[in-house]
Amino acid sequence: MDSINYLHTIGYAIISHDCFIADATGNMPNGIKNDADWRYFQSELDNSDLLLIGRKSFINFQNIKRNRLIPTSKIKDIEIEKNDLCFFNPKNISIEDAVKVFLPETKKIAVVGGNKVYELVFNSIQFNEFHLTVAHSFYINEGILLNDNIKSLDDIFDLMNKNKLTVHKEKELDKNATLYIFKKY
């Protein structure tokens, strides 16, 4: 399936060396957090029109005033709560239709996770880019993986490849973190 060509969709994630986005309690441990990545991530979000964000991430960052679209199974189809906040049920309304209803001028969507949200995008509008930071000196061992079907960085590269995403740029953000920018080919 091709991406929806009027939307440019970019995924963002930081993972541990062993490919987890969160620990077994569902939270991001301090060891995975990285200042250089956070600055990069925020500057990217500043250049996005809309965030596609999971419920827990939304609750953790409620004070961040950005345009947010949140998938949930708890409503019928779509509910605009504020001018910068909208919930939708992907079972009954597609991401592109939700965007049309909520913020039709949207061009650039930042998909900030977690793993169910990434999966939703892989299985629907797809990613034009994925910006993946690997905190390579930090291990989580047990928790939430970037994707349920992956166990290693090689598996992630395979997943990206299956979705026609290839590494366009690799950058050392600091001594603990490397950024891989995947782009659609």
Ligand X SMILES: NC(=O)c1ccc[n+]([C@@H]2O[C@H](COP(=O)([O-])OP(=O)(O)OC[C@H]3O[C@@H](n4cnc5c(N)ncnc54)[C@H](OP(=O)(O)O)[C@@H]3O)[C@@H](O)[C@H]2O)c1
What CA–CA distances, in Å, run from 176 to 11, 46, 95, 139, 145?
21, 24, 35, 12, 19
Shortest gap between Cβ of 185 and ligand X (angstroms)? Answer: 24
- 57 is a site residue for ligand X (CB under 6 A): yes
- 30 is a site residue for ligand X (CB under 6 A): no
- 117 is a site residue for ligand X (CB under 6 A): yes
Instruction: Please classify residue 185 by burial: count the beta carbons closer than 10 Å to its beta carbon, then call 0-12 exposed, 13-18 middle and 19+ buried.
Output: exposed
- Which residue in 7, 9, 11, 14 binds ligand X (CB under 6 A)? 14
- 11 is a site residue for ligand X (CB under 6 A): no
Binding residues among 152-181 for ligand X as defined by CB under 6 A: none
- Which residue in 22, 52, 95, 125 binds ligand X (CB under 6 A)? 22
- 54 is a site residue for ligand X (CB under 6 A): yes
* Contact partners, residue 15, CB within 8 Å, separation at least 6: 21, 32, 132, 133, 134, 135, 146, 156
- 42 is a site residue for ligand X (CB under 6 A): no
- 142 is a site residue for ligand X (CB under 6 A): no
Collapse the DSSP code of 180 into the 3-class scheme (helix H, G, I; strand E, B; otherwise coil) and give the result. Answer: strand
DSSP string across 110-178: EE---HHHHHHHHTTT--SEEEEEEETT----SEEESSTT--SHHHHHHHHHHTTEEEEEEEEEETTEE
Q: Which is nearer to ligand X, 63 or 73 (CB)?
A: 73
- Which residue in 63, 73, 83, 141 binds ligand X (CB under 6 A)? 73
- 56 is a site residue for ligand X (CB under 6 A): yes
Collapse the DSSP code of 64 into the 3-class scheme (helix H, G, I; strand E, B; otherwise coil) and give the result. Answer: coil
- 148 is a site residue for ligand X (CB under 6 A): no
Nearest to 32 by CA among 136, 116, 107: 136
Q: Which is nearer to ligand X, 27 or 149 (CB)?
A: 27
- 143 is a site residue for ligand X (CB under 6 A): no
**Which residues of this protein are in contact with ligand X, per CB under 6 A?**
13-14, 21-22, 26-28, 54-57, 71-74, 89-90, 112-117, 120, 144
